[in-house]
Amino acid sequence: MTLLSVRNLRVTFDTEAGKVEAVRGVDFSLGRERLGIVGESGSGKTMTGRSVLRLIRPPGRIDADEMTFDGIDLTRASETEMRGLRGHRMAMVMQDPKFSLNPVMRVGAQLMEGLRRRDHVNKTEAHKRAVAALEAVQIRDPDRVMDSYPHELSGGMGQRVMIAMMLIPNPDLLIADEPTSALDVTVQAEVLSILDALVRDRGMGLIFISHDLRLVARFCDRVLVMYKGKIVEELAARDLLNARHPYTRGLLNCLPRIGGPREPLPVLDRQADWAR
Ligand SMILES: Nc1ncnc2c1ncn2[C@@H]1O[C@H](COP(=O)(O)OP(=O)(O)OP(=O)(O)O)[C@@H](O)[C@H]1O
């Protein structure tokens, strides 16, 4: 079943230096699956993800021939309707918990605030559900975490708290933007297995934005490869490491090889590229 359908999505920034086309006509659809978006820095991955939630601030502008989420026309939805969807039926997890958690509020209070506001439950019930959400992301000492401020948590813990917060409303669609890139490998694997279980058990659709082709090849079902604001290739994740498209091959050739020399990822020369 198609959960999200996007046709000819464009994101444009009117800057003093002229028009920057960050996303230039992107088409994709998503079911209850794990869709990876890969591509070098600046290729438009984040802007594509944020567009779905209509989270692009002026001077950025979103245009699309179609952007439908579960039958709802996102291009025509009012801001009030969008607020009703965001953080409820569609949610986004960002790379750094620092930007999503309130630094001066204890974790428990943040989790409970959303629950009480949205679901109008009493304090005891909100507390119970917040603890259950932390347990669902495999936090073993939820009471300590509830009492902590965000800065008192490790990166991995902060990431789990953020995922727990996004998952309390049981969204149908989760957009995860580099959700594990700040984490060490063990914690990364744990966070991925939590996301994986959510797609499997709750039938959620997941858009997983990442630089890490190996990770996406292992973790996702399908992958979009973006370059300069366009999708240059769409393929099954298991075929990613054997992709034939020259750009995708280029990205793959930049993967560090064990024992081999490390080559830097090529980065677009934005001035030159956008002027073209
Ligand atoms: N406020 C802005 N004004 C002008 N251009 C912008 C603005 N915000 C983003 N862009 C441009 O949009 C393009 C796409 O950015 P985006 O963040 O989607 O890339 P990305 O693929 O997610 O990169 P990264 O992996 O580094 O996060 C970039 O070239 C960027 O310069």
| Nearest protein CA to atom 13 of ligand 1, as residue | 22
Span 137-149, pLDDT tens digits: 888 899 999 999 9
Residue nearest to atom 26 of ligand 1 (CA): 41
Binding site membership of 47 for ligand 1 (Cβ less than 6 Å)? yes
Ligand 1 atom at shortest distance from the alpha carbon of 43: 21
- pLDDT of 198 reads 82
270 close to ligand 1 (CB < 6 Angstrom)? yes
- The per-residue pLDDT for 158 is 86
Taking only the tens place, the pLDDT of each residue in 171-182 is 899 999 987 776
Nearest CA to ligand 1 atom 12: 22
Residue position matching structure tokens 């259950």: 132
The model carries a pTM of 0.85
E strands, the chain, in order: 4-15, 18-30, 34-38, 60-63, 66-69, 72-73, 90-93, 173-177, 205-209, 222-227, 230-236
For residue 264, the CA-to-ligand 1 centroid distance in Å is 19
For 11-15, 204-208, 258-262, which range has the lowest pLDDT when averaged over its residues? 258-262
What ipTM did this prediction achieve? 0.93
Ligand 1 centroid to residue 126 C-alpha, Å: 38
**Which pLDDT band holds residue 34 (cuts at 50, 70, 90)?**
very high
Query: Which tens digit of pLDDT belongs to each residue from 154-198?
Result: 888 888 888 888 878 888 999 999 877 767 777 778 878 888 888
The alpha carbon of 13 and the centre of ligand 1 are apart by a number of angstroms equal to 10
| Protein residue closest via CA to atom 9 of ligand 1 | 22
**Average pLDDT, stretch 244-259?**
80
The chain-wide mean pLDDT, for the chain, equals: 87
Q: Two tokens at 130?
A: 């917040």
Atom of ligand 1 nearest to the CA of 47: 18
Q: What is the pLDDT of residue 274?
A: 43
